[in-house]
Amino acid sequence: MILHTNRFIFIFLLLSVLSFAKEIKYKMDGNYIMVSNVHLINDIDYKKEGLYQALIEIPTGTREKWEVDHKSGNIKWEFRHGKPRKVKFLGYPGNYGFIPQTRSGDGDPLDIIVLSKSTKRGDILKVKVIGMLKLLDKGEQDNKIIAVTTNGVFRKIDSLKEMLIKKPNVIPIIRAWFEGYKDPGKIVFMGYESKKKTIKYIEESHLKWMKNKF
């Protein structure tokens, strides 16, 4: 009896793992919604194989402001004043998105920018977190986690401090972009955060998601 019970538990766990490991597929619903076969915030692991995961909403170099809808879990082109929104600035300087299964103070998943070549909207990147920009947007916390891919041009960079030393122009460009893409004064730079503290910030946000996911 115990043998049969253990076998049943093993099969159940195996099927559970396989169900969450299924390939993510998208289909367009008109021009402004990418419908996914999974909930892009709740059904994707925030960490896999020792690396954090980033779901990309806005690829490097583009200006169209897409974001994941919390309720449906699909990617939608944000509308403003009845029109699809485009950032009135230079294209994003990295692949921009969020870390799934995290929750910030305002209820949104954590924002992340991945310094790598442009990828596709909806792609999931396994990334190495190196630090964070601490920002205020109209007085509210709006931090941006900075990460690199393990096979890109910055793959040997392990921390924000190392990036600032070895590639001193990269992070100031990212900072200047976020300070400049909205009206002057709306975004205020509050400093950089170390890799260690950034990882702690991510893990705490994952615990917040765990407590509030139902």
Q: Kindly report the CATH number assigned to the domain that includes residue 167.
A: 3.90.80.10
Burial 3-37 (b: 16+ CB within 10 A, else e): eeeeeeeeeeeeeeeeeeeeeeebeeeeeebbebe
pLDDT value of residue 12: 40
Q: Is residue 128 assigned to a domain?
A: yes
- Average per-residue pLDDT for the chain: 90
**CA pair distance 13, 118, nearest whole angstrom:** 36
pLDDT value of residue 106: 78
Say which amino acid occupies 130: I
Residue range(s) defining the domain that contains residue 122: 50-60+90-212
Structural domains in the chain (count): 1
Q: Is residue 95 assigned to a domain?
A: yes
**3-class DSSP string for the chain:** CHHHHHHHHHHHHHHHHHHHCCCCCEEEECCCEEEECCCCCCCCCCEECCEEEEEEEECCCCCECEEECCCCCCEEECEECCEECECCCCCCCCEEEEECCCCCCCCCCEEEEEECCCCCCCCEEEEEEEEEEEEEECCEECCEEEEEECCCCCCCCCCHHHHHHHCCCHHHHHHHHHHHCCCCCCEEEEEEECHHHHHHHHHHHHHHHHHHCC
Q: What is the pLDDT of residues 79-135, one digit of tens each?
A: 999 999 999 999 999 999 999 999 998 789 999 999 999 999 999 999 999 999 999
pTM, two decimal places? 0.88
Q: Is residue 75 assigned to a domain?
A: no
Q: Is residue 181 assigned to a domain?
A: yes
What is the token pair recorded at 118? Answer: 């442009």
Q: Is residue 54 assigned to a domain?
A: yes
Binned at pLDDT 50, 70 and 90, residue 20 comes out as very low
What is the token pair recorded at 131? Answer: 């630090």
Instruction: Tokens 């442009």: give the residue.
Output: 118
